[in-house]
Amino acid sequence: MADNMRSFLDKVYGDYYGNQISSYLKKDDPILSTEAGYSNITYGARAYVNILYSKNTFSILPKDIYAEDGMRLMYATGTLSTGIDENAVLPDTDKPDIYETTVGIKEEATTIEMSNKMVLKARGNDYVDIDWIMKNTAEMHAAGINGHLHTDGNTLAAFNFESVDRMTASAAYATALSWDAGDEDFNGVDTSTYTWYDAITDHNSGVDRTWSMGYMFGLTADIKDNNGNPNICITKPDTYGQMMSSAQTQMRFAPQGEWKYIITEEGAKPSTGGDVGFPIASIDGVPIFTDPKVQADGIGRVYVMDTNAQWGVPQVSLNMAQPTIVQSANNYVLLDYAKEKSVYYTSGELRCRSRFRQASIRDLKASSL
């Protein structure tokens, strides 16, 4: 999988992608008004690397390559095995039940328009640097996509990337908070009809309660009861502080140790290189990542996920069709204006194949540390 994703990015960006892993601030690359377009290799890779290695939710979640428009989900296995007598006839076939759903991909874009007069003035030293504008817009594009991954579950994604908040919201939680019908559905599966695709949500019907470590242990147990193996937790920094404080008082040692993680093309992975990577505390064996964009009630919500691969495919992933590119034009006749226009463009979608192994804790408030 790693080789496939790296090859995919190399095809899009060429060798420039590999060079940008260590330094993506290319110097001495002015944009001139005489150019027909800016370089996708330079600015597109810079934007994608910016979001890929920012230690936010986009970087943490596994990535896979868009290869199909939907999913086949098995929700009933049929008879697993039947004992037979010596020389007896073979048992009847009992096929598994399969549900097909269309997920598709989303398109996200951030545009820039600059008049030709501004471009000309930018050549002097008394005006804004266009290269700075391109870099800043790349950061805004990346931050916007990561923010959409944390849209509150009762706000439909529409044309944006889907939300981790909705992915981990159960039908019972949606009912308790009076969400509109269908707000809790995900990836085209109607949860009220296909209850096997429902998420696990520890909530208090919208009434905030003080954080307790028991919520975390209960949630990981529920995931394991569904044959899951929770391997990622994402929460807001304020909730992370509550976790670490309560863990220290209960365990006599720091929250079950720290793991070193690195960000790869595929997402966050445990480091096998000794001191390489950044330290991540874990609770009940689940590494805890933070993202300030996580939705909050009194304090931030907690998302616990099983993203492990099944048959080579991550159970939760960002299915990427097009890593970030930038297209630009300055043909005045075609644009009908004397200006330059650019767009940052990324295409993909958040997919979940085993939603019943994805969970969240909500309705939390802080205790005194």
Q: Which amino acid is at 196?
A: W
Q: How many CB atoms lie within 10 A of CB 111?
A: 11
Helix axes 45-52, 2-13, angle to 10 degrees: 150
Question: What is residue 158's predicted lDDT score, i.e. its pLDDT?
Answer: 92
> Quick one: which of 176, 183, 178 has its CA closest to 204?
176
CA 199 – CA 347 distance, rounded (Å): 26
CA 212 – CA 266 distance, rounded (Å): 32
| H helix and E strand count, the chain | 11, 18
Q: How far does CA 313 lie from the centroid of its chain?
A: 15
Share of the chain above pLDDT 90, in %: 41
Question: What is residue 252's predicted lDDT score, i.e. its pLDDT?
Answer: 45
- Tens-digit pLDDT profile for residues 19-45: 554 444 444 445 454 454 444 555 667
Q: 14 pLDDT band (50/70/90 cuts)?
A: low
Domains, in order of start, for the chain: 2-77+95-365 (3.90.1690)
In DSSP terms, which residues pair with 305 in a beta bridge? 232
CA 49 – CA 33 distance, rounded (Å): 26
> Quick one: which of 124, 31, 16 has its CA closest to 329?
31
Please, is 99 exposed, middle or buried when counting C-beta atoms within 10 Å of its C-beta (0-12, 13-18, 19+)?
middle
| Average pLDDT of the chain, as a whole number | 82
Strand order in the sheet with 302-305: 200-202, 359-361, 302-305, 232-235, 286-290, 278-283, 258-264, 267-270
Q: How many CB atoms lie within 10 A of CB 276?
A: 10
Q: 4 pLDDT band (50/70/90 cuts)?
A: confident
CA 346 – CA 349 distance, rounded (Å): 10
Q: How far does CA 19 lie from the centroid of its chain?
A: 24
- Tens-digit pLDDT profile for residues 187-216: 999 998 999 999 999 999 999 999 999 999
- Tens-digit pLDDT profile for residues 130-155: 777 888 888 888 889 999 999 999 99
Q: Whole-model pTM above 0.75? A: yes
Q: What is the DSSP string of 123-157?
A: TSTTS--HHHHHHHHHHHHHHHHHHHTT--TTS--
Question: What is residue 295's predicted lDDT score, i.e. its pLDDT?
Answer: 96
Q: Which amino acid is at 71?
A: M
- Tell me the three state secondary structure of residue 174: helix
**pLDDT over 80 at 164, yes or no:** yes
- Tens-digit pLDDT profile for residues 308-365: 988 778 899 999 998 888 888 888 887 788 888 888 899 999 999 999 999 999 999 9
**pLDDT over 50 at 107, yes or no:** yes
- Residue that the structure tokens 């009940």 belong to: 284
Question: What is residue 26's predicted lDDT score, i.e. its pLDDT?
Answer: 41
What backbone torsions phi and psi does residue 118 show, to the nearest 5 degrees?
Answer: -65, -40
The answer to whether 106 touches 319, Cβ cutoff 8 Å, is no
The answer to whether 185 touches 170, Cβ cutoff 8 Å, is no
- Tens-digit pLDDT profile for residues 285-297: 899 999 999 999 9
**pLDDT over 60 at 17, yes or no:** no
